[in-house]
Amino acid sequence: MALQYSTAALLPWLFCFVFVGPLPLSLLCEANASSLVAPASGAADAATAGATTAEPLSPLGAQFSNPAGLAGFTERTMGTGLGLAYGRGEVTSEAIGYNASNEVLVPFLDSFLIVPMDRWTFGIGTMGTSGARFDYGPRPKAGIDDGFFSETGVIGLPISAGYRAMDKLWLGAELIVLYGSTHLRYSQEVAEFPGESTPFHYSVEGFGVQGMFGVTWKPTDSWSIGLAAKPPGRVWASGDSKLGSGKQDVDLELEIPAEVALGITRSLFERWRVSYSLRFTDTSVFETSWIRYQETPSANHSFLGAAQDEWRHAIGLEYAWSERLELLAGFAKANSIVGRKGVSPMSYDCKDFRLNTGLHWTGDAWTLDGSFGYIFSGTRNISEDDAKIFPGKFESKPAYLLSITVSKKF
């Protein structure tokens, strides 16, 4: 019966996942705070560490990294992805006698629908793009009475189109509707209320927009070259925080980083393909995105202090075990984006090194992708001269990611 459903009948199912299913906080790559920008979407592309910019393995991968890749999918297909991320962080400061840990176990969900029409392939989906969660509790003996909590995430709803200009040249573009949410909990003394700690407990949320353009060129049957670019985007978020017996408005105009990615895919021998991707993300704009308080402007601060741009390298391998089954693997590395003077219990990361593996099974109507990822541990040692809140050791323990994507042609 599923093959008889019309596109219109399937849209309510998809939009249920778009607006109800996604979790905007604590997204897949941030379980151990080693990365603040998602590396890929879709289990197959995640299994190759996001190296498939030139020729994405799934519609979700194309909508995340290069919409021109949608042109390679020529049958009506819908699907959803489920996953689970686990990670742990630990903060220790011998200078003030503080020690606390942050453990995260988070499910995540994404979905897509693509509809080809002649040379075009149109798509809509939902996916996480960035986020983090930090929760380090109070330690009164160390002078920390309120602890540190921050949780933030951005999800995207891409509306995409890929166009087969010719067999060797694909073009793509998409409009990405964004939804962002940030929740902070901490206390500090402010100029407006000297001599006491003012609590800041609040959430801000709102919608935004970004775009992306892509091109894939296949000079020969063995080579694919892809280039994708996202111009800067923006999320307008607002909320309020309790202040004394009343409230104060809180606003965040979050700049979403511009991004440029270049990818190459090469077929080797009869069964192998290797991919490489280099991605630059202008994450330093997080430092110029400000959280502003209506009644306590002295507490205004950057969304992410001392933010730095990210450079990410990824390499992926595909091996055709049989006509229906491919084995996948990948390795990626990226620099940290939080500068030393921006490290605090509410925002830190480490250099990102990760290994991925997975499989891609294709049936007559169904496709199943699975991936497992291991993110290596990392440590930031912050001196007293660089400390934003206190000096100490900020650790990201190893993290583990599992994801499955199921799709069906109709």
The domain segmentation of the chain, as residue ranges, is 2-409
What is residue 130's predicted lDDT score, i.e. its pLDDT? Answer: 63
- pLDDT at 89 exceeding the cut of 70: yes
Q: What is the mean pLDDT of residues 258-287?
A: 95
Q: What is the mean pLDDT of residues 28-57?
A: 74
Give residue 292's identity as a one-letter amino acid code: R
How far are the Cα atoms of 33, 115, 205, 206 from residue 181, in angstroms, in the given order? 17, 31, 4, 7
- pLDDT at 179 exceeding the cut of 50: yes
- pLDDT at 1 exceeding the cut of 80: no
| Most trustworthy range by pLDDT among 67-81, 133-147, 183-197 | 67-81
Q: Collapse the DSSP code of 396 into the 3-class scheme (helix H, G, I; strand E, B; otherwise coil) and give the result.
A: strand
**Cα–Cα dist 197/278, whole Å:** 45
Higher-pLDDT residue of 4, 257: 257
- pLDDT at 189 exceeding the cut of 80: yes
- pLDDT tens across 91-142, in order? 999 999 999 999 888 887 889 999 999 999 999 999 876 677 889 999 998 8
How many percent of the chain have pLDDT more than 70? 90
Rounded CA Rg of the chain: 22
Which residues neighbour 264 within 8 Å (Cβ) at sequence distance 6 or greater?
A: 54, 223, 224, 225, 226, 275, 276, 277
- pLDDT at 369 exceeding the cut of 90: yes
Q: What is the mean pLDDT of residues 28-54?
A: 72
- pLDDT tens across 6-37, in order? 323 233 333 333 333 333 333 333 333 335 56
What is residue 335's predicted lDDT score, i.e. its pLDDT? Answer: 93
- pLDDT at 216 exceeding the cut of 80: yes
End-to-end C-alpha distance for the chain, whole angstroms: 10
Q: What is the mean pLDDT of residues 292-320?
A: 95
What is residue 100's predicted lDDT score, i.e. its pLDDT? Answer: 95
What is residue 105's predicted lDDT score, i.e. its pLDDT? Answer: 83
Confidence of residue 269 (pLDDT cuts 50, 70, 90): confident
This prediction's pTM:
0.87
Which of these, 87, 94, 179, lies nearest to 134 by C-alpha position? 87
Confidence of residue 274 (pLDDT cuts 50, 70, 90): very high
Number of residues assigned to the chain = 410
What is residue 258's predicted lDDT score, i.e. its pLDDT? Answer: 96
Homologous superfamily of 2-409: Outer membrane protein transport protein (OMPP1/FadL/TodX) (2.40.160.60)
Across the chain, mean pLDDT equals 88
**Under a CB-based contact definition with an 8 Å cutoff, are residues 42 and 58 in contact?**
yes
